[in-house]
Amino acid sequence: MSERTSALDALVFGVDVQSGDVRGDAPSYALVVYDGEQLERDVVTHRKLLRRIEREKPALVATDNMYELAADKDALVHFLRELPDGTRLVQVTGDERPEPLSRVASRHGVPYGKDPMQEAEAAARLAATNVGQEVSAFTDTTRVKVARGRSTGKGGWSEDRYTRRIHGSVKEAARDVESSLDGANLDYEREVTEKYGGYANAVFEVEARPEDIPVSARRSGDVRIEVERLQRDGIEFEPLAKRRDHVLVGIDPGTTTAVALVDLDGTLLDVWSTRTADTAEVIEWIISRGRPVVVAADVTPMPETVEKIRRSFDAAGWTPERDLPVDEKQHRTRDHDYDNDHQRDAMAAALYAFDRHEDQFRRIARKVPAGVSRGEVTARVVAGEESVEAALADLTEEPDEEDEETEHAPRELTDEEKRIRQLESQVDRLQSHVEDLRETVSEKDDRIAELEDELTEARREERRDARERRQVSRLERETDRLEREVDERDERIAELEDKLARLKQLWKLDHSNFTDVAAQKKDLVPVKPVDKFTKDAIRRAHDDYGLAEDDVVYLRDASGAGRSTAERLAEVNPRVVLKEGGISDVADDVLFEHEIPVGPADDVTLQEVDELAVARESEVEAVVDDWHDRAEQRRLERKSDQLDRLISEHRAERRHDSRSSSP
């Protein structure tokens, strides 16, 4: 099962000593350059290795022993300091107590051989799959120092002016550095030493690596800038990838995909859901957090997407005998928080899969001795269908040791050995012929070396072309996305322009200070139509051309409105409401209580202009006056009804009192 967390898009150098020793003179190294697809092999000197690292800037330099590249700790620190920004040294066999390379390669399914070139290849392949420990002598804090580039002694003019100019240049450069750090949103602490005319120096301690800082070391004229990572007290090791334990994975596929991770003790580790990620992104999310032993679903048979993910990890599968009911899933996940039903289903699948394997996990744990990975054994037994004993034997198997040389006491030669010695004289006669052949071989080797150099250059060019093609594809996809956004914005602009045109027309109708409109306006007043007497229709009309106080509102269909709808229209406080058809008693009472005139639209001559309308002011005034007359009569009738009711109530009370007082 691959543990690689992302596609390799950079070079990895695998290095192993070919001959000699770094503590002696002129060691040579077996070098394997690996880009995730192709391998390039070469034998280089220590100096040539450093030049290639500087020129090609690999992402990782991998070795099975870091002290094959440096004689001691100080030399190792110097080596790490000289590495290009972004290049890391990796010891694939572990930290201070490394394992044999053969064992690490076997555990991760990487080809291994004892030849130095094979060991270099194994180191490169292991590092490319995020196996190993990064060797670090520096923290992730970088010191950026801006200081004087020359002495403040007398220059070509007076000493004061000369010193002031230098300090002013340092201050200006420090401000540029600070602006660059702020622009990159980097955290830093600043300490300045102020001197006459500006700064003698400014020191920034930035919480980032040099390659992440938009400032480079330079020296020009009055100012020099130094960029240096802060050194640790000693050599430290950090896993190339975060440790990923063996887990059980529950997946709920669909428009929204949810994934849940549970460890081998049944503890929920993480849960995640997405509507945008594809299967590859889901697999990468799982890889970054754990190594699946079991992949589970909450339905049977296992969905095709879940089966595809299971096969990608060579993990065991689990599905229930029947689809898990909602109430059982809710009960099993009652102690855990989740954002949606998809996360709940994924959690339930993982937890039920753990319940199914819990006894098996405990039996395996009891048999695993200290020092052996319980998760690795569990994965081999559950997913690989091995026995516990076979898995333990494979994981604890020691690499074959070199056969010890043995010495033999001198003895008398046999007849065959005597014959061999007689033939040795014939071999001597062939030596001259061998020398001729060696010269021929040497010429062939030179030609092969030339062809290998050409092949290396061709492969390097091919890698560059492949990277450029990938970049072009990414840019084309980004261009398509931006074009879609432009089209959407153009459509939105067209809609807003149409709306603006309608509003301008309405505004002109409502303002008499435009000479080109005033002559035609005469007795006209703008009318704002509302299709139906509903809240949605009122809202749409307000969004299209705005409803405001003292507007003339035209209800094309006044039927069906209730109290809340009438109150919504009353909030606008229109001048008058012209209606088509009858209006409900409830709505009429609400508008009457708010003293909003209501009249039939047939009493007014309406002329519609697109979505708007106009009417004559005199006719509108007539409707308003008519409503006021009717409203006054309505109030009198209400008062009369109230008076009659009071008189009736008073008479009823008197009759009741007279009956109560009679003997």
pLDDT the model gives residue 425: 54
CA distance 244 to 480: 37
CA distance 345 to 58: 44
pLDDT the model gives residue 120: 93
- β-partners of residue 265 are none
pLDDT the model gives residue 404: 35
pLDDT the model gives residue 402: 41
- β-partners of residue 28 are 19, 45
φ/ψ of 519, rounded to 5, equals -65, -35
* Torsion 127-131-136-142 (CA) sign: positive
DSSP 18-51: EES-TTSS--EEEEEEE-SS-EEEEEEEHHHHHH
CA distance 397 to 506: 89
Predicted TM-score (pTM) of the model is 0.39
For residues 146 and 188, the answer to whether their CB atoms sit within 8 Å is no
Q: How many CA atoms lie within 13 A of 623 on its CB side?
A: 23
Name residues whose C-beta falls within 8 Å of residue 50's C-beta, 6 or more positions apart in sequence: 82
The residue type of 155 is G
CA distance 537 to 179: 53
CA distance 269 to 258: 14
Could you tell me the mean pLDDT of each successive run of 10 residues in the chain, 663 residues long?
42 91 82 89 91 91 91 86 87 87 86 92 89 86 88 59 85 91 88 88 89 86 87 81 79 94 90 87 85 93 93 91 94 92 95 93 85 80 82 65 36 58 61 67 83 88 89 90 91 83 64 42 79 90 84 88 89 91 87 90 80 83 89 83 80 73 59
pLDDT the model gives residue 2: 35
Q: How many CA atoms lie within 13 A of 247 on its CB side?
A: 24
Q: What are the start-end ranges of the E strands in 493-590?
A: 524-530, 552-555, 576-579
pLDDT the model gives residue 431: 63
